[in-house]
Amino acid sequence: MRILIIGASGLIGSNCLRYFKQQGHEVLGTYFSYPAKHTVFLDTLNPQNPENADLDAFSPEVILNCGALTHVDYCEQHPEESEQKTVQSHRTVLEWASKYQAKVVYISTDYVFDGQNGPYTETDTVNPVSVYGKHKLQAEELTLRHNAHNLILRVTNVYGDEERGKNFVARIIQQAKDKQKLTLTLPVDQYATPVNGWDVARALHLLLTDDKSGIYNIASTDFLNRVELALKVLNYFPEAEYELIPKFTGELGQAAERPLMGGLITAKFSAEYPRFLFSSVDDYLNRIYD
C-alpha cells in the first residue's frame, strides 16, 4: 500500500510511519509545525502552498490523518482555531481522498462521549462536553459521510516512543531519569484506558490489511485515573523526587469540561482479532527501565 500519514511527527503518526515501513509499505509522512525525521512539509489548511509535498507524485491509496489541535483547554478558549485545525483541515484531507480515490483513516478520541458511563463501546451514544470533543465528532461524521468505506480509530491517553517525548508517560519517565524533582497536580476522578502508540500502529495495520471500515476502539487492558497512572510510572523510579497532589477535576479550574468516566472497550476489535495482544503500561515501563 501507498500510505500518506498526515501528522507523522506526532506520537501515533510516527509510530505508524515506523511500523508500516517495517511491513514493507510505501509511506510518506508529513509534518506541519515540527519537522521530525523522515517527514516532509504539508499544510492541510493551504493545499496550494508551494512548499507542500508532491501528493500527485505519491498518489496515496490510504490517507491517515493524525493531525489536529489537541490541547483541550486551548481549544475551549479558541473555538474558531480549533474548528479550523480539526474540522476544516480534515475537509481538505477528504478532498484529497476523492482526488486520489484513497481510503481515509481518522484518529479520534473518547472525548466524543460525556464521561458519565464509560468506558465506552463503538455504539454508545456520543455526547461531547468540550469544544475539542465536538470538533473531533464533526470530523468523524464528515469521514463516514464522505465514504462509508473509511475508517475511524478512537483512542485515548496514548503513550510511547516519540521524537519529542511529549506524552504524559514519556515526560514523567524523562524527568525521573534526569533526576528532576516532579510536582504533579493531577485529577483523581478522570479515568481512561491508556494505549501504546506502537499498539495503535499494529492494530491499524491489521485493519487496513483486511480493508475494514467504520469505527473501532483501540485501547489496552489498563483502566486508570491520572494519579494511578503517574504512580505506576514513578514506581519504576524509586529514587525519583516528586510531589503528587491529587485533586478533583472541579478543583483544577480547567477551561474545558472533561469526560470523567472515560475510556474505551475493545470488544469489537478483539472479537475480530482474538490473537492480538495489547501491551500494558507495565510492559512499556519494564522495557524502558531495562
Q: Looking at residue 122, what is its pLDDT?
A: 98
* Distance in angstroms (rounded) separating the CA atoms of residues 290 and 4: 34
The domain segmentation of the chain, as residue ranges, is 2-158+195-217, 164-191+223-262+280-289
Q: Which of 96, 95, 251, 234 is nearest to 173 (CA)?
A: 234
CA distance 160 to 197: 6
What average pLDDT does this structure show over 236-262? 97
Helices 89-100 & 131-146 angle (0-180, nearest 10) = 10
Q: Which tens digit of pLDDT belongs to each residue from 252-275?
A: 999 999 999 999 999 999 999 999
Question: Region 202-223: what's the mean pLDDT?
Answer: 97
- Residue % of the chain over a pLDDT of 70: 99
Provide mean pLDDT across the span 22-50. Answer: 96
pLDDT tens, 160-170?
999 988 899 99
As a whole number of angstroms, the distance between CA 212 and CA 286 comes to 33
C-alpha 62/C-alpha 73 separation (Å) is: 31
Q: What's the rounded mean pLDDT across residues 216-222?
A: 96
Q: Does 119 sit behind a cis peptide bond, omega within 30 degrees of 0 on the bond before it? A: yes
Q: H or E element: which one contains 105?
A: strand 103-109
The architecture in CATH of the region 2-158+195-217 reads 3-Layer(aba) Sandwich (3.40)
Report d(CA 277, CA 119) in Å as an integer: 19
Q: What is the pLDDT of residue 166?
A: 87
The CATH code belonging to domain 164-191+223-262+280-289 is 3.90.25.10
Q: What percent of the chain has pLDDT over 90?
A: 96
Task: Please check whether residue 162 is in contact with residue 80, taking contact to mean a CB–CB distance below 8 angstroms.
Answer: no
Nearest to 207 by CA among 286, 104, 66, 73: 104
Query: Is the pLDDT confidence value at 289 over 90?
Result: no
Q: Given this model, what pLDDT does residue 125 score? A: 98
Please write the tens of the pLDDT for every residue from 143-184: 999 999 999 999 999 999 999 888 999 999 999 999 999 999
Residue-wise pLDDT for 70-121, tens only, equals 999 999 999 999 999 999 999 999 999 999 999 999 999 999 999 999 999 9
Residue 111: per-residue pLDDT: 98
For the CA atoms of 61, 62, 68, 72, the dihedral, rounded to the nearest 10 degrees, stands at 170
Whole-number average pLDDT of the chain: 97
| H-only helix segments in the chain | 11-22, 55-58, 72-77, 79-82, 89-100, 131-146, 168-177, 197-209, 226-234, 249-252, 267-272, 281-289
Grid cell locating 253: 479550574
Please, which pLDDT band fits residue 68 given cuts at 50, 70 and 90? confident
Q: Supply 158's cell numbers.
A: 496514548
Tell me: pLDDT of 247 over 90: yes
Q: Is 2-158+195-217's fold the same as 164-191+223-262+280-289's?
A: no
Task: Provide the pLDDT for residue 100.
Answer: 98
Res 290: pLDDT = 63
Residues contacting residue 51 through CB under 8 Å, at least 6 positions apart? 41, 43
Give the pLDDT of residue 165.
87
DSSP class per residue in 135-198: HHHHHHHHHHHH-TT-EEEEE-SEES--SS--SHHHHHHHHHHTTPPEEEEEESS-EE--EEHH
